[in-house]
Amino acid sequence: MQKSLIAALIASAIVSLNAQAADLIQVYQQALANDAVYASARASLAAGRERVPQGRANLLPVVGLSGSYVRNDSSFSPFNEGATVTSPSGATGVVAGGGSTLNTNLYTLSLTQPLFRWDRWQSYEQSKLQQSVTEAQFAQAQQDLITRVAQAYFDVLAAQDTLESIRAQKTATTEQLASAKRNFEVGTQTITDTHEAQAAYDLVVAQEFAGINDLENKKSALQAIIGSAPAVLATLKPGVALAAPQPALIEPWVSSAENANYGVLVSQLSLELAKRDILRNRAGHYPTLDLVASSSHTKVSGQTSQSGSSTGNAVGVQWSVPIFNGFAVTSRVRESIALEDKARNDLEATRRNAALAARQSYLGVNSGMAQVKALEAAEISSQSALESNKLGYQVGVRINIDVLNAQRQLYSTRRDLSRARYDTIMSGLRLKAASGSLREADLVPVNNLLQK
């Protein structure tokens, strides 16, 4: 009764642990909320969406209200101020100075509406292109987040598999070392078998330390993305079957990469920006025309005969024709032409790199699937070889080193098999990213391969 109760508690603990395991979708949701790189891209998108209102503002009227208040105090002092003087009629008086105070209030309401400003129009068109660039860059950041999360997730699983394989090999090597020592004590084996088993044990202990360190590093890399220490991760189902890319031909993937890849779209928009920049700089040779209107009100008060108020309204057009500015405009035009040529070559380089990434990812998926099938067969063969060597060792036709080598081969094959599966899954995600079609929904079929 007590044993059955303990077994039930252990089983319940295992089920609870599996229930708390985080799958790929949950980890991705954590990354959406906490990844600093993605948050930076989101802020850049919000800032980029302000480019169009800023560009449009240069084409709209500018209305301003200005004013001034001036107080002017003046005084007059004659040279004989304070002296007593006598008038022709015989009256006497004292010479005195004088002064006045003048207050001036001025208010002006002005309006300027651009009628012909070619450079501002081109800047407005550029602002729309710049907003499209930020949107494409944000879409690229979304794809990058998907691949970064998936890569970090499977890196942790691969490190766990490697560590588990090392520990299983350590257990088997420990048993083999104990067996070699017992056989040596009874005289059925030489000391050489014991030394070989001891060397194998020491090696696997060193590998275990390296595996623990590698696992911690992979967890830290995932933590840098999701913002907290990762929980227990859901693992791949045993014997999982991987799907081939659809469509099965490479040409559609390459064509999509050359046209729909977000890096290519950004380069195409950058080329259009460079073309618009040429037109904007050439506008330095063109005249400008503005509609101007103003209304002003002036009020004068104080100890003066000029007190009063006045109102003035004016409307008209204002034009300007550039004649010579030291060849600055011509130089800027030449510079923008050179930058356009640079943007065109950057576009071609980006397109080629996208096509290359699509080809490499497509080949990675196909070769990875073939490698998985081969390693699955190798795992079965390695397991059979190990069992045969153990039996041969027991009957005396195999030596200790044969068993150790068979164990090492089996665990190495299992490690390579799990890594091949992870790499194949990542190649599939990168293939869609290169073609510009990777979305959050593409994580769902990958997540279905995990044990819940």
pLDDT 10s digits, 156-194:
999 999 999 888 888 878 877 787 787 777 776 678 878
Q: Provide the pLDDT for residue 16.
A: 41
Residues 421/425/428/433 CA torsion (nearest 10 deg): -140
Q: Provide the pLDDT for residue 243.
A: 87
3-state secondary structure string, 17-57?
Answer: HHHCCECHHHHHHHHHHHCHHHHHHHHHHHHHCCHHHHHHH
Q: Provide the pLDDT for residue 218.
A: 95
Q: Provide the pLDDT for residue 176.
A: 76
- CB-side neighbour CA atoms (13 Å) of 174: 7
**C-alpha to C-alpha distance for 145 and 440, rounded to whole angstroms:** 10
Q: Provide the pLDDT for residue 3.
A: 43
Domain membership of residue 98 (yes or no) is no
> What amino acid occupies position 385?
A
Q: What is the mean pLDDT of residues 228-253?
A: 90
First-to-last alpha carbon distance for the chain, in angstroms, is 31
Q: What is the DSSP string of 120-141?
A: HHHHHHHHHHHHHHHHHHHHHH
pLDDT in tens, 97-139: 556 778 889 999 999 999 999 999 999 999 999 999 999 999 9
**C-alpha to C-alpha distance for 341 and 265, rounded to whole angstroms:** 17
With bands split at pLDDT 50, 70 and 90, how would you rate the model's confidence at 72? confident
Strands 62-76 and 98-116: antiparallel
pLDDT for residue 422 is more than 70: yes
pLDDT for residue 306 is more than 70: no
Domain membership of residue 97 (yes or no) is no
Cis peptide before 114 (omega within 30 of 0): no
pLDDT for residue 421 is more than 50: yes
Contact 241, 445 (CB under 8 A): no
pLDDT in tens, 287-305: 999 999 999 999 888 766 6
Q: Provide the pLDDT for residue 7.
A: 42
| Choice among 209-213, 409-413, 440-444 with the minimum mean pLDDT | 409-413
Average pLDDT, rounded, for the chain:
87
Domain membership of residue 70 (yes or no) is no
Q: Provide the pLDDT for residue 367.
A: 95
Domain membership of residue 204 (yes or no) is yes
Q: What b/e sequence results for 413-448 when a residue is b if at least 16 CB atoms lie within 10 Å of its CB, and e otherwise?
A: bbbbbbbbbbbbbbbbbbbbbbbbebeeebbeebbe
Q: Provide the pLDDT for residue 97.
A: 53
> Which percentage of the chain shows pLDDT scores above 70?
87
Q: What is the mean pLDDT of residues 355-373?
A: 95
Count structural domains, the chain. 1
Q: Provide the pLDDT for residue 8.
A: 42
pTM of the model: 0.82
Domain membership of residue 111 (yes or no) is no
Q: Provide the pLDDT for residue 178.
A: 81
Q: Give the length of the chain.
A: 452
Domain membership of residue 76 (yes or no) is no
pLDDT for residue 21 is more than 90: no
Q: Provide the pLDDT for residue 134.
A: 96
Residue-number span of the structural domain to which 275 is assigned:
21-63+116-286+323-447
Q: Which residue has the higher pLDDT, 418 or 85?
A: 418
- CB-side neighbour CA atoms (13 Å) of 288: 19
With bands split at pLDDT 50, 70 and 90, how would you rate the model's confidence at 451? confident
Q: Provide the pLDDT for residue 9.
A: 37
Q: In this structure, what are the phi and psi dihedrals at residue 151, rounded to the nearest 5 degrees?
A: -65, -45
Burial of 153 (0-12, 13-18, 19+ CB in 10 A): buried
pLDDT for residue 80 is more than 80: no
Q: Tokens representing 212?
A: 């623990």
Q: Provide the pLDDT for residue 152.
A: 96
Domain membership of residue 95 (yes or no) is no
Q: What is the mean pLDDT of residues 405-427?
A: 90
CATH classification of the domain holding 187: 1.20.1600.10
**C-alpha to C-alpha distance for 396 and 402, rounded to whole angstroms:** 12
pLDDT for residue 23 is more than 80: yes
Q: Provide the pLDDT for residue 308.
A: 80
With bands split at pLDDT 50, 70 and 90, how would you rate the model's confidence at 96? low
Domain membership of residue 26 (yes or no) is yes
